[in-house]
Chain A
Amino acid sequence: MKKGLRLWAVLFWLLIWQLGSMALGSEILLVSPVRVIETLAGMAVQAQFWRSVGFSLIRIFGGFLLGALLGSLLAALSSRFRIIRELFSPLVLTIRTVPVASFIILALIWFSSRNLSILISFLMVLPIIYTGVLTGIGERDRGLMEMASVFHVRRARRFLMIDLPGVYPYFHAACKTALGLSWKSGIAAEVIGMPRGSIGEHMQQAKVYLDTPSLFAWTVVIVLVSLLCERLVLHGMDLGMKTLRRWKG
């Protein structure tokens, strides 16, 4: 079975959406896709639109990067030292299970809303990356590790040729999940915290003024930016691995 989106299927659901909107006859209840595109085109020519996209992108993606970095580092330490694994295990479990809304409200009590989405994105990404990388480290090829120990392979080479390729599929899968979640949780945090100039603030305003076309248009923007981030990050990582595998040692 072929993976990915098929154009005909997308067009089919857009048609259903358009027909549904026409049948309801209310732009507030269900705006048509054509109207959403018009609204989006109108927004895209304003500088404020791009400033808002940049505001949310920097914070949410920044939170993802921090979470990925710290999650990987913690996983590496946890695999090496049992005490660190035991120490962080309850913390990671807590972050995984506590509803994101609880974190958002608590963070709003403690800090200002301006950088709220960094923290929320970071908190959602950290346990996913941590668990993925820790599993990957545990699943590395035992035979290759034994071989490296017999030959006394240098640490850097062992990392590049055995550890990194072994962990990579797990890190890749974790990043894919975490990227989508960072955008969902980050935008949710912005909608609740309404930091000035963020995408979330515009969505909250759209709700207050029952501006459904804007709400849909911002949603489309989030989906597109999230997909773009995912493609760039995952493609970049794959390219990095390909380059590494071309290494002659």
Chain B
Amino acid sequence: MKEIRIQALSKAYGGKQVLKGLNLTIPGEKTTAILAPSGFGKTTLLRCLMGLEKPDSGTIEGLDGVRISAVFQEDRLCGGFGAAANLRLCAPELTDAQVKKALEAFSLSGTEDKPVSAFSGGMKRRVALLRALLADYELLILDEPFHGLDEELREKIMEETCRRSRGKTVIMVTHDPYEAERMQAVQTVHLDRLEADAAL
């Protein structure tokens, strides 16, 4: 996948300017981390990239026909269904053995048939991450993907995520520079500083 070019991107909600003339180039097949405090339009930027929001002005180039996978800020799982069904929702070709192996790698063994609504917050997050990683994608969008994971598991899951997404274009929003480092981000974008630059 080639680079993604964002030019003069602006988006406002109800009179509040969330993104203002943002210019950014995201390299292909590498990881880019986006950092900023709340309210600087991180999630809005991701929503624009996913095609869920239409920018007020500006352009995004390089996304035509690109297969996207994502971990949203919320887990967005089908609560009444088991982990296996949730994974197959986005990766229908997975065999039972593949599902079992993937769940084991994310410390979710034996949860294939258990309704995810009964899972803990950390377990739900891991299923959401695994779902995104197992889907067929070229661009992986991660919005605070490791939020809610306990320390010990977080290390393991970051390592697995980094390994499984190697060679793909990854855009990760986080508030923690350490996560950007662990994901081997080649570019770290401080959205608040870019906004300040754009305003000057």
B85 within 8 A of A: yes
A235 within 8 A of B: no
Complex-state Cα separation, A162 to B79, whole angstroms: 10
B74 within 8 A of A: yes
Inter-chain contacts of B68 with A (CB < 8 A): 150-151
Known: A143-B72, A146-B52, A162-B78. A154 touches B85 (CB 8 A): no
Cβ contact of B80, chosen from A147, A154, A165, cutoff 8 A = A165
CB pair A153–B89 under 8 Å, yes or no, is yes
A245 within 8 A of B: yes
Complex-state Cα separation, A222 to B112, whole angstroms: 45
CB pair B85–A247 under 8 Å, yes or no, is yes
Residues of A within 8 A of B (CB): 143-144, 146-154, 157, 161-162, 165, 241, 245-249
Interface residues of B in 144-199 (CB under 8 A from A): none
CB pair B113–A157 under 8 Å, yes or no, is no
Contacts between the two chains (Cβ within 8 Å), count: 65
Complex-state Cα separation, A149 to B67, whole angstroms: 11
Complex-state Cα separation, A217 to B92, whole angstroms: 56
From B68, B88, B89, name the one whose CB has the most chain A CB atoms within 10 angstroms.
Answer: B89
Given contacts A143-B72, A249-B89, 16 further A-B contacts (CB under 8 A): A143-B76, A144-B76, A146-B50, A146-B52, A146-B72, A148-B89, A149-B51, A151-B135, A157-B88, A165-B80, A245-B82, A246-B113, A247-B81, A248-B84, A248-B88, A248-B112
